[in-house]
Structure 1
Amino acid sequence: MLKAVIFDMDGVIIDSEPMHARAAVLAAKQYNIDITIEYCYKFIGSTTYYMCQIMVDDFKLKVTPEELLKANEDMKQYLLKTEGYKVVPYIINLIQDLYENGMRLIIASSSPAKAIEEVMVSLNIKQYFEGYVSGMMVKNPKPAPDIFMEALRRLGLGPKECIVIEDSANGVNAAAAADIACIGFMNPNSGKQNLSKSSYLIEGFEEINYAYIMNIYGMVINEPKTIMTTERLVIRELTAEDIKVLYELSKDPDIEIFLDDFKDSPEIEIAKHKAYIKNVYQYYGYGLWGIFLKDTGQLIGRCGIEYKNIGDIGEYELGYMIGKQYQRCGYATECAREILSYFFIKYKVPYIVAVIDRENVPSNRLASRIGMTKENELKRHNRNCYRYIIKNHS
């Protein structure tokens, strides 16, 4: 279970990487050294002291890393006084939302402790965090895992209970070395960063909130995403284990006759669903979901939306199946209505259809009950079917 989010600071909370690079360029000029912004960007995610050590070696400077660090810090303070902190858009909203939903938060930044404190106070976010770990507090900087291992120690949590948000290759690699899932933020101001070891990539924080983070975490650890709850039901993604139960429900003669799937062995159906999780749930975000009783957790059927070719055009199609012993309880109606409403609002499609065998009397009645209108007849898999439609009025 996700219990904490570990934030990098520079490039994630404040858009400071360009300023840091300019400070380094100005500091180097004091020693008659011309370096480029690109040169500085390769140190993103590591400590400034480490950068100064490398610069002294690369350019055979007759100064100590400490002296160069002091010049760099002086330039940084000058730029801060004249320009101030530039906050990454919408990141404060995310921090507040995570905190309000009970998520534990900590900063793990390569910046000095003083700089982290100044940012937290300046942005008025200190109250949301349990603390911070500076790269100066550990033996080895990012990409070594030390800083994240220390964050785990302070939180008293394991790597599977946390997720990191990083913008640099060094940070992403450090999270991977610590075996912590990592969201890679593709910050255009952080230079060309190789974030390939991220568990998930984002381009910004405008649509990122607590629920989104939980969904990312669920995907990373293969935890099924809960889509919604109704008065009596929980609608969530189906796992490979769930297919065993669904397979048994599908074998009732009155159900099996109208199904197009579950024709293979349980082992093959499970293998097919594992591919479905990756290629449908994770790629599209929707599909056929499991219907579970809220009070017992019992799987009683499935319902959802799939994009299918119907005739010569592609359409969003509602599908549903309820186990025989759970029929005539209103579960299908309760579930289908909520899914239609959810899909219309979230995906803003103009209409949704249902294609139902003419002989499947209960399903035809349900389509009418939830507000669908019989539009036409068609053939599907050599069956005579009705095509129902419901338009988006949300």
Structure 2
Amino acid sequence: MKERGWRAIIFDMDGLVLDSEPTYVKAWQAAADELGFAMPAEFWDGLTGCSGMTVTRRLQEQSGIRFNLEKFQQLSSVYWLAHVQHHGIAVKPGLFAVLEVLAKYRLPFCLATNSALAAAQQCLAWAGLSDVFSYIVAGDMVAAAKPAPDIFLRAAAELAQPVEDCLVLEDSPTGVRAALAAGTPCVFVPSFHPADAWAVEHADFLMEDLHQVADFISARQHHPL
């Protein structure tokens, strides 16, 4: 991969922009526990970044035919909504540092998420970020969600940039797989630790947080190699 500055930045949402992954996991755990299907933490952590269909499939595979998926979805929605309505959704540290760098260098950017568009917009509102992203590419706007490449290919098209000149920021193995499939350079910023070994190996760059990402983008725009 050629080392250079970037022409556009593509953000994932859950776990990268928003510290929302723990809220989903807690809601899923509470719903499953209420239904009598307690599962290990490793199972829930493995669902980070996955589309709703993938979460559903893995739950069914893990729990068997006795698992009441409809009731699970109802309960988890109630638990999650109660939490975010009371507490809001936290923004990941360093996001505003990245946005300042993008404004300085006039780099276009967008949000690319497996969430449905309406859900993404609501989550951004709860986090106080409604006016931050001019472009959002959501899971219900493409034929296939991540780990398929569709979302990132659509995002690059919306930004009017070649996909190889966009930099994807992701926190999950699912997102890293999608970036690889799209041919898009990817920074992996793990939202859970220990970080997924496959994503660490296959992402183009590994960074601790968005503050480090901000410094990285700024340095590349100053000194593209």
TM interval, shorter chain, is: 0.7 to 0.9
1:184 shift after superposition: 0.9
Per-residue CA shift, 1:137-175, capped at 9, x if unaligned?
Answer: 333332221221221232232212211000111111110
Per-residue CA shift, 1:298-325, capped at 9, x if unaligned?
Answer: xxxxxxxxxxxxxxxxxxxxxxxxxxxx
1:29 aligns with 2:27: no
Q: Match for 2:58 among 51, 54, 70? A: 54
Q: Secondary structure at the match of 1:165?
A: strand
In structure 1, C-alpha distance between the alignment counterparts of 2:204 and 2:37, rounded to whole Å: 39
Q: TM-score, normalised by structure 1?
A: 0.50
In structure 2, C-alpha distance between the alignment counterparts of 1:100 and 1:225, rounded to whole Å: 15
Q: TM-score, normalised by structure 2?
A: 0.84
The runs of 5 or more residues in structure 2 that have no matched partner are none
In structure 1, C-alpha distance between the alignment counterparts of 2:123 and 2:161, rounded to whole Å: 25
Q: Secondary structure at the match of 1:206?
A: helix
Q: 1:127 to 1:171 in 2, by over 3 A?
A: same
Q: Secondary structure at the match of 2:210?
A: coil
Between the two structures, name the one with larger relative contact order (CA 8 Å, sep ≥ 6): 2
Partner AA of 1:132 in structure 2:
I
Structure 2 counterparts to residues 350-361 of structure 1, below 5 A = none
The residue aligned with 1:159 is 163
Q: Are the aligned partners of 2:117 and 2:137 in contact in 1 as well (CA < 8 Å)?
A: yes
In structure 2, C-alpha distance between the alignment counterparts of 1:47 and 1:32, rounded to whole Å: 24
Per-residue CA shift, 1:309-368, capped at 9, x if unaligned?
Answer: xxxxxxxxxxxxxxxxxxxxxxxxxxxxxxxxxxxxxxxxxxxxxxxxxxxxxxxxxxxx
Q: Which aligned runs of 4 or more in structure 1 are off by greater than 6 angstroms?
A: none
Q: Secondary structure at the match of 1:118?
A: helix
Q: Are the aligned partners of 1:99 and 1:105 in contact in 2 as well (CA < 8 Å)?
A: no
In structure 2, C-alpha distance between the alignment counterparts of 1:178 and 1:9, rounded to whole Å: 18
Structure 2 counterparts to residues 1-394 of structure 1, below 5 A = 2-62=6-66, 65=69, 67-187=71-191, 189=192, 192-194=195-197, 195=199, 196-209=201-214, 212-213=216-217, 215-216=219-220, 225=223
Q: 1:207 to 1:149 in 2, by over 3 A?
A: closer
1:76 shift after superposition: 1.2
In structure 2, C-alpha distance between the alignment counterparts of 1:89 and 1:150, rounded to whole Å: 27
Q: Are the aligned partners of 2:101 and 2:217 in contact in 1 as well (CA < 8 Å)?
A: no
Q: Flag the structure with higher strand content.
A: 1
Partner AA of 2:203 in structure 1:
S
Q: 1:213 to 1:26 in 2, by over 3 A?
A: same
In structure 2, C-alpha distance between the alignment counterparts of 1:37 and 1:19, rounded to whole Å: 14
Q: Secondary structure at the match of 2:39?
A: coil
Q: 1:110 to 1:168 in 2, by over 3 A?
A: same
In structure 1, C-alpha distance between the alignment counterparts of 2:65 and 2:10, rounded to whole Å: 36
Q: Flag the structure with higher helix content.
A: 2
Q: Are the aligned partners of 1:52 and 1:69 in contact in 2 as well (CA < 8 Å)?
A: no
Question: What is the root-mean-square deviation in Å for CA atoms of aligned residues?
Answer: 2.5
Q: 1:58 to 1:122 in 2, by over 3 A?
A: closer
In structure 2, C-alpha distance between the alignment counterparts of 1:129 and 1:175, rounded to whole Å: 20
Q: Are the aligned partners of 1:49 and 1:69 in contact in 2 as well (CA < 8 Å)?
A: no
1:98 shift after superposition: 1.0
In structure 1, C-alpha distance between the alignment counterparts of 2:193 and 2:135, rounded to whole Å: 25
